[in-house]
Amino acid sequence: MPTPTKGPRLGGGPAHERLMLANLAASLFEHKRITTTVTKAKRLKPYAERLVTFAKRGDLASRRRVLGLISNKGVVHELFTDIAQAVENRDGGYTRITKIGNRKGDNAPMAVIELVLEPVSAKQAVVAEATSAAKRDADKKEAAAAAAPAAEEAPAAEEAAATEEAPAAEEAATEEAPAAEEAAEAPAAEEKDAK
């Protein structure tokens, strides 16, 4: 886990702080957003983001590591299934802290910490799509290069058939050419008459 800050801890002792962060993380994963003090939110952010990174891995060792910290199996299951799928395209920044002013009773600065579950921005999505398209094109070129030697070994009969079709296509083009010239001259003559 992230190195604790020097100085006084959140709950008094290190064991209390570990339990407090685990409970805050479990509440965050269960409710997707929680309201707490700014200090606790700042300490929770790296802790929760590390747990989300374990969830994105999705293997058994990662699940057991998270279960060692968060004892609620339902929350861990939700973290590994729902939350991990929602942030699979995101490279970090799984949480967001928003300050909301001071608490009424003791004037403590309060904040809302929430999971960022919306899709990655459109610009990043376009970049990801472009890289995948470039990869597909490279794969197609490799496949075409592999197929090219096979195409060179085609029988001579197919080549002869292709050469026979070429003169027939030229004759059809010469028959259509005079008709196309007449059609082009007709609008030009109409324009002269209109003047």
Flag whether pLDDT at 157 surpasses 60: no
Is domain 14-119 given the CATH code 3.90.1030.10 in the classification?
A: yes
Query: Bridge partners of 114?
Result: 33, 96
pLDDT of 4 higher than 60: yes
Instruction: Decide: pTM greater than 0.85.
Output: no
What's the mean per-residue pLDDT of the chain?
Answer: 81
Range picked from 9-13, 15-19, 127-131, 159-163 for highest mean pLDDT = 15-19
> What number is the average pLDDT over the span 175-180?
53
Which of 30-34, 106-110, 143-147 is predicted with the least confidence, judged by mean pLDDT? Answer: 143-147
Residue 6: the pLDDT is: 75
**What pLDDT does 161 receive?**
54
Note the pLDDT of residue 76.
96
Q: Which residues of 169-179 are buried (b: 16+ CB within 10 A; e: fewer)?
A: eeeeeeeeeee
Query: Domain boundaries in the chain?
Result: 14-119, 121-153, 157-195
Q: Which residue has the tokens 């472009």?
A: 130
Task: For residue 91, report the phi and psi dihedrals to the nearest 5 degrees.
Answer: -90, 0
- The 10 Å CB-count burial string (b at 16+, else e) for 84-112 is bebbeebeeebbeeeeeeeeeeeeeebbe
